[in-house]
Structure 1
Amino acid sequence: MKTGLVFVFVLVGAVSGFRGNFRDYYRQKCSKESWDNIWRSTGTVPNKLSQVPDVPLYMETASGTKIFPNQTLDTAQLLNRPSFKWNADPNALYTLLIEDNDIELGSIKYAHLLVTNIPGSNVYGGDEVIEYIPSFTVNIRDNEKLETRVNITNRHLVLVYKQPGRINFDKKQSGCNPEIFSNRIIDHDALQQQYGLQGPVAGNFYRIGYSSGNTEYYICYLSACTGRPLPVLLSGINDKPLSEC
């Protein structure tokens, strides 16, 4: 029994230490003032978001890369869902959204992840109502060819909102179903208004450029799941069934 108790105390201590180190790393590398300034100096606030999130959203890729505001990542780094931490009220519920805010499909915004009813900052304890798809670009040149320059990037906003209570999201999306794939088209402002969400109480954003192989695959996936080539016909890329992507 004593051995078991010691193990539990060591495990709890290790987890607490990880969380502390996770936040401390950000504090050393980027003050709250400089963090907030990145949102404004890039025009992300107010052009893409009306206000700077209240506190930083600490993010880390599955391989351990810390994600800072305006950092450029490769789709290959985000094939698995990153981890998220913020200063949360453990007794409150939250919504987390990853949104491509620069996608070239008209004025729409595209959700790569939506989780609701998150207890505190335990994202895995929430309801994943729009399943995770890695961030990728859909950028097309004037000659309607795929943009392959890695410095042409899309901003992906990662926003956390505090809920007034439990919410029942009425447009869930999982798998590749053309009838419901349009549920990924979500605007953060409309989402906030519809469910009375507070915030964003935490946030981060990163940029994604062309990623050889991954970009082609997810453009093919997007097109196959909506039933038409998006954003334009790209021969050999988005004119195939999902099984051939």
Structure 2
Amino acid sequence: MSQQHLGYSRNYIDGNWCDADDGARIRVDDPATGDLISEVARAREADVDRAVLAARRAFDARTLVDMKPSERGRILHRIADFLSAEAADIARIVCLDTGKAISIAADEVQTAIRYLRYYAGLADSIEGKSIPRGSGFANFTVRSPYGVSAQVVPWNFPLELTARSLACAIATGNTVVIKSPELAPLSGMVIARACESAEVPAGCVNVVTGYGHDAGSSLVAHPGVDHIVFTGSLPTGRAVLQQAA
């Protein structure tokens, strides 16, 4: 595959593309050659804080909660439509970013699309229960979203795992802050572009890239976070648990 620089990507916060608060960047190298292929904004605590506050404002405003579930499903379909239309280019980005074979990268794009469409179909099928309590009583349950979902994504299948956790959260009315892996951050930027194209309301999906020891730690320990999605090693999982507690 020919070498090409993929440009510089900013964090996506509150519907806007933002440089890091201190202007820092992370170098993204092709793992096959070690050559520079991109740079991304390096999020630290201040950037994470802005992303979480944006997600909190969107959740407190009930932007997704009050939306018809079928419309949340249509949003996810539009994100999937973007990935489908750009599938070949996205597969190339995944290939360069992670070092996996182009055929496996192409499969990952299709898996991400399937996750998005699956949860799009599920969005208006989530129901509560009616519980018999005898004459004169009415007892029922209503499912409620957690709130702000912090999602820390691993480097090995970054596109499909981002799509899976994002889709589930949006379908159920949660807002999201995604921390893309510093070793393979470009899939997160693809998802952000897809959300922008799909006209996801500002603040409902935020994507930042940074190192685990500062951006990741700041995110999982943030008091504005209600829910954490994490995939990674046992030691890192223990650290996430301690920081969240």
TM-score normalised by structure 2 residue count: 0.24
Choose between structure 1 and 2: higher strand proportion. 1
Pick 1 or 2: higher relative contact order, CA cutoff 8 A, min separation 6. Answer: 2
Choose between structure 1 and 2: higher helix proportion. 2
TM-score normalised by structure 1 residue count: 0.24
